[in-house]
Amino acid sequence: MEKKLVVCSMCDLACTLEAHIEDGRLEKLRGFAEHPLTPDVFCVKPAHAKDWYYNDDRLLYPLKRAGERGAGKWIRISWDQAMDEIAHRLSEVVERHGPESFACSTSEYNTQVASGATRRFMNLLGSPNYISGVSLCMGNTAAVASMTCGGYPFSDYEQTRCVVYFGHNPRPDVWAGEYQRLRAALGRGAKLIVLDPRKSHCAKMAHIHLPLRAGTDAAMSLGWLQVIIEEELYDKEFVSRWCVGFEELERRVGEYPLQRVEAITGVPASLIREAARMYATNSPGVIPWTCITDQQKNSTSALRCQTILRALTGSLNVPGGDVLLAPNPMVVSESELEMHEALPQDKKDLQLGAEKYPVMTYRGQQALNEPRRRVWGLRYFNLMKGQYMAHPPTLFRAMREGTPYAVKAFFSIANNTLMCYTNQKGIYEGLKKLDLFVVNDQFMTPTAQLADYVLPGDNFLERPVLYNASEWINLYFAAPKVLEPPGECRDIYHFWRELALRMGMEEHFPWNNLEELYDFRVKGTGLTWEELSENLFVVPSPPPQAAPVFRKTLRALSRTGLLPKVTPVFLTMMSWQRRTRERLEQAGMERMAVLFRDRMTFKPYPHEKLGFATPSGKVELYSSVLEDLGHDPLPYWSDINPPGETADSSEDEYPLQLFIGLREDEYFHSTGRHVDKLRKRNPEPLAFINTNTARKSDIEDGSWIYVETSWGRVKMKAKLSEDMHPDLVRVPHGWWKPEMPKGDPELSGAWDYSDGVLLDDDPAHLDPEQGLPDLRGGRRCRVTLMQEES
């Protein structure tokens, strides 16, 4: 039995797991007991990894459509035939319509190992029209935070005094590693404040729970800022030295007295004041990322408020706060490999949606190029892959309507695109009009069922992994391939390289495989990829001036056979400086211990020397970037559903608020429904409703219901709970049933159960700066009892 450390990709947290391999086959996964922050972290998803990957439904060979698109008829072909035909047909599209007519949607936390190959290919081809699910989750957070403080802060739970969750709810089977970090912080005496309409798992643990109305995060945050400024609870020295626009901000938050905030959020003014005081007086605190705030009509303002709260309270870029991390000087970053400089400016200017919704586009991020070069050494720093993408609704409109120009070729990479965004009907219409549609995935998803070619993807056990959460952190996890992929499954770099070779880009894809590419990327460590991945697992980030000594030390440790002993030491660096030095000294590595006088990993970069990566070099409370783009430079609150503005704004016809995106323990987005043991735990899509609200409509626990908006309806089973807000219905994301008929018209239940059916992409419900849809409480719905589902 071999035991190998691996980086899990069954959700977006990338936990460290131990794979038990026997005779070339996975026997089980388990938590890594020696991890100093998250020992033995393990959830229900990897517990059933064998059933997930050794599954009769898994795609093993390339397939080509036979018959009409969506007819469900396929023929098996070779990889060479597939790539030859795809390259030929893509070249025809580019010749007829221009390279901008090619677009791609991918979820790179699923593939893990693209190493910038997706954007590299697109930039060399001349297409700016890349989109991703991170436009709804984390990518947009990073883009907005960058406009305010020049980067995307990472929460230092290990030294914090206060944790604030805006709807975030980690628990043992969802974001399990983060849940362990939270529990450890609480054990050290940190405070916990939870803002959530329901009595969630974390809300029940909180020192203060604010049950605000869904979608009102921006208003609540403005109320906190009003308290902190009015009571002078802010860090005056930091504000004076490192912030611009304080006077303007003070006037703006003065428009939000707590009586107004109470009326918007439904939370008593006294409780709002108490929570704001607790956060401000327990600095440094952390406001960890949450997809809840990402997905609201006032998302940009709410996300800006979070960074402003960090800055004003002395919790930004300090130990125990939310820290900004410089790129790792020993590893070539994905941002560099993406070759954004290769995309001509006239093609950047054609990026779909950039004029109206600029935040995540080349246009929106352009003002940060020079500040990023000054601070990070990179003009293009693609944090969370959310900095330079097209606007998804505009792209799908171009696909189906041909305006402002046609999108005729589309690749969906590890991304169930049909169900990934709002307006599923409109996406379907666009996909049906394509000249070329290619899917790379592990299973025949509803999206794959509409493709011209379906190529079989690998999983995290079947590929070497070099991963740092899409540039969010500067610590890299390095894991070798521990299993051979079954059939003809291939990693995503293989796909892009094979296509590049056929389209004249050989010189830009010189690495024959991932191992060669990783050799190039980790050359700065002084180790080969094999030495690093087999012995080290973790690549820490020393200060640039210490990198040469660090590199020499690693080479010496490799020669003497001591390198494997360093892995637990480097993992410990994510915790405490003192423990790091002690473990190095105990291992007989006193010279290495000298390098760790300070915490090197997750250590805030020195803004005192470099400033912040914004045009002013400071935290921009008043955003010069947004102002130059024609948007409000200060955060604000806008009514999320003004009466009479849209068809579903009538409270009489649609009396409940709709909250999309329930995180289910067993599944991640639209994955996992093919695993029998997970389906036995959670066999049907559940809509959570307050018990009293449901019974007024004769709905009982387990009743089949319709959840309906003015745009569409889905079938769900009612799950009654006293913990739910009386005005809220919460539905899961990404439901389909692989056992149902494939192809049109059923598409494995995508029209019956997918939340994408419920929402359009009406601009009235989009965040004005990002163009992001309101999934979290801004849309109204109704629930009705239906006959039992067969």
Residues tagged active-site = 12
CB atoms within 10 A of CB 692: 11
Q: Comparing C-alpha atoms, which of 317, 279, 300, 323 is closest to residue 164?
A: 279
Cis peptide before 726 (omega within 30 of 0): no
Q: Give residue 337's Cα distance to chain centre.
A: 20
Beta strands (DSSP E) in 649-690 are 656-662, 686-690
Token pair, residue 171, equals 């628990």
Other Cβ atoms less than 10 A from the Cβ of 553: the count is 19
DSSP state of 327: P
Pairing of strands 25-31, 63-65: unpaired
Residue spans of alpha helices (H) in 98-207: 108-111, 117-125, 139-149, 176-187
Q: Which helix (DSSP H) or strand (DSSP E) does residue 502 occupy?
A: helix 492-502
Neighbour count for residue 565 (Cβ, 10 Å)? 16
Write the CB contacts of 468 (distance below 8 Å, at least 6 apart in sequence): 328, 331, 474, 475, 476, 477
Q: Which residues contact 204 (CB under 8 A, 6 or more apart)?
A: none
Q: Which amino acid is at 658?
A: L
Taking the C-alpha atoms of residue 500 and residue 508, their distance in angstroms, rounded to an integer, is 8
| C-alpha angle 531-50-756 in degrees, rounded to nearest 5 | 105
The C-alpha atoms of residue 77 and residue 695 are separated, in whole angstroms, by: 55
Q: Radius of gyration over alpha carbons of the chain, in Å?
A: 25
Is the N-terminal amide bond of 404 cis, ω within 30° of 0? Answer: yes
Q: Where are the beta strands (DSSP E) in 202-352?
A: 208-210, 243-244, 285-286, 322-323
CB 314 within 8 A of CB 283: yes
Cα four-point dihedral sign 428, 432, 433, 436: positive
The candidate with the shortest Cα–Cα distance to 131, out of 352, 427, 448, is: 352
The continuous run of DSSP H or E covering 756 comes out as none
Residue identified by tokens 């289910």 is: 664
Taking a C-beta distance cutoff of 8 angstroms, is the pair 319, 159 a contact?
yes
Which residues does 389 contact at the CB level (< 8 Å), separation at least 6? 130, 131, 132, 135, 139, 360, 361
Separation between Cα atoms, residue 518 and residue 514, nearest integer Å: 6
Among residues 124, 130, 136, which one has the least CA distance to residue 102?
A: 130
Which amino acid belongs to residue 13?
L
Single out the residue of 412, 411, 410 nearest to residue 420, CA to CA. Answer: 412
The count of C-alpha atoms lying within 13 angstroms of the C-alpha of 431, restricted to the half-sphere facing its C-beta, is 28
Nearest to 474 by CA among 334, 666, 318, 359: 334
Beta bridge partners of 439: 412, 454
- Name the pairing type of β-strands 776-785 and 63-65: unpaired
Amino acid at residue number 452: D
CB 119 within 8 A of CB 496: no
- Residue 777, SS3? strand
Nearest residue to 759 (alpha-carbon basis) of 707, 710, 717: 710
